[in-house]
Amino acid sequence: MERILVIGANGQIGSELVEALAIQHGAANVVAADISPASLYGAQVYEVIDVLNAQRLADVVGQYQITQVYQLAALLSATGEQAPLKAWTLNMDGLLNILELARIRGAAGQPLKVFWPSSIAAFGPNTPAVNTPQYTVMDPSTIYGISKLAGERLCEYYFQKYGVDVRSIRYPGIISYKSPPGGGTTDYAIAIFHAALRGECYPCFLEEETTLPMIYMPDAIRATISLMDAPAAELSIRSSYNVAGVSFNPRELATAIKQNLPGFDIHYAPDSRQAIAATWPQSLDDAQARKDWGWQPEVGLQQMVQDMLKNIQVTPKELHKAA
Ligand SMILES: NC(=O)c1ccc[n+]([C@@H]2O[C@H](COP(=O)([O-])OP(=O)(O)OC[C@H]3O[C@@H](n4cnc5c(N)ncnc54)[C@H](O)[C@@H]3O)[C@@H](O)[C@H]2O)c1
């Protein structure tokens, strides 16, 4: 029986991951944790944890006899650029604390399986942008991307050197309606739906032809859990797997929204996030994920747009956070 800890449970991904894991493993076997007060999201237990506090982490993992940790706490690409040192400390030390704990517990015969997400931000301006290969030039130019690339190397290092069972996905931009996004460069693709449903013209912070890899939340959750459930022997990558969902640009997304809401309008007012997006891939080659653990995206652009428009709840608070 697995006992699961999700750190960053209050975030865009964590909240939905906790819900899915509680359904899969039972609410009593999932501990939701975050530095901020969180809801339970279907788990039975919530703990306040600062991932930078290694002792607190060890105590909670010991107390609940945790066998799997999902370490999602991070500063994302856009917010990271506002506070680079804070982003570096949180993103690197948070991961290192988990990997060290897994190393120590593994040596004591109490294995701890780890999930940690990397990002398309780990690529950079000299990476081939179309169908970006699994192994290629990686020269990230944001502090966030640099931390993700370093994190990938740490994951592989801890696997090779200490046998830590760590697994990772280079998430594309994640589109969802339940929780607001956390300050990334792909957040426009969520904020646009809120504006459309409020009957507002959306001021897009990326240029209209800026194509980026994205993924709908149900696909992202399924990918994450599939990777964690895959037999260790079938995994050939312990840095981080390319995983593709659907690629589109703001013009294509706006067109798909207009097909459902004909009055919707968009204008373009690129800001500093455009420069970040310009260094990222447009699409990903995820052949290795498909081969190793059977990855297959299910949700395309049209279906995603219809689902978002059907389910999104526009509250003033959500709109403020998504903007
Ligand atoms: N959302 C995306 O599109 C996307 C894309 C690529 C990668 N990722 C990665 O996925 C992970 C989760 O992303 P998200 O979008 O859910 O982020 P988010 O910002 O929505 O959530 C992060 C959560 O971490 C918590 N947190 C911050 N500092 C903490 C600390 N010291 N200790 C414990 N918790 C702390 C925050 O309170 C927040 O609830 C991150 O590692 C991110 O880099 C996300």
pLDDT band per the 50, 70, 90 thresholds, residue 179? confident
Asked whether residue 292 is assigned to any structural domain, the reply reads no
79: domain CATH number is 3.40.50.720
Asked whether residue 290 is assigned to any structural domain, the reply reads no
Asked whether residue 265 is assigned to any structural domain, the reply reads yes
Same domain for 201 and 55: no
Q: Is the pLDDT of residue 319 over 60?
A: no
Same domain for 106 and 93: yes
Note the pLDDT tens digit of each residue in 204-222: 999 999 999 999 999 999 9
Asked whether residue 293 is assigned to any structural domain, the reply reads no
Q: Is the pLDDT of residue 317 over 70?
A: no
Around ligand 1, the residues with Cβ closer than 6 Å are 7-8, 10-14, 34-36, 49-52, 72-74, 76, 90, 117, 119, 171, 173-174, 181-182, 184, 186
Over range 80-90, report the average pLDDT. 97
Task: Report d(CA 274, CA 212) in Å as an integer.
Answer: 11
Confirm whether 144 is a catalytic residue.
yes
Asked whether residue 161 is assigned to any structural domain, the reply reads yes
Same domain for 97 and 17: yes
pLDDT for residue 316: 57
Q: Is the pLDDT of residue 175 over 50?
A: yes
Same domain for 223 and 158: yes
pLDDT for residue 48: 96
pTM for the full predicted model: 0.96
Asked whether residue 288 is assigned to any structural domain, the reply reads no
Tell me how many degrees the CA angle 131-134-136 measures, rounded to the nearest 5: 85
For residue 256, what are the contacts with CB-CB under 8 A and spacing of at least 6? 248, 301, 302, 305
Asked whether residue 150 is assigned to any structural domain, the reply reads yes
CA distances from 228 to 223, 246, 303 (A): 9, 22, 26
Look-up of token digits 């640099």:
146
pLDDT band per the 50, 70, 90 thresholds, residue 321? very low
Question: Is the separation of the CB atoms in 84 and 143 below 8 Å?
Answer: yes
Question: Is the separation of the CB atoms in 13 and 72 below 8 Å?
Answer: yes
Same domain for 202 and 111: no
Residue 283 DSSP symbol: S
253 C-alpha to ligand 1 centroid (Å): 25
Q: Is the pLDDT of residue 314 over 90?
A: no
The domain of 253 spans 174-214+246-283+298-322
pLDDT band per the 50, 70, 90 thresholds, residue 43? confident
Task: Report d(CA 15, CA 53) in Å as an integer.
Answer: 22
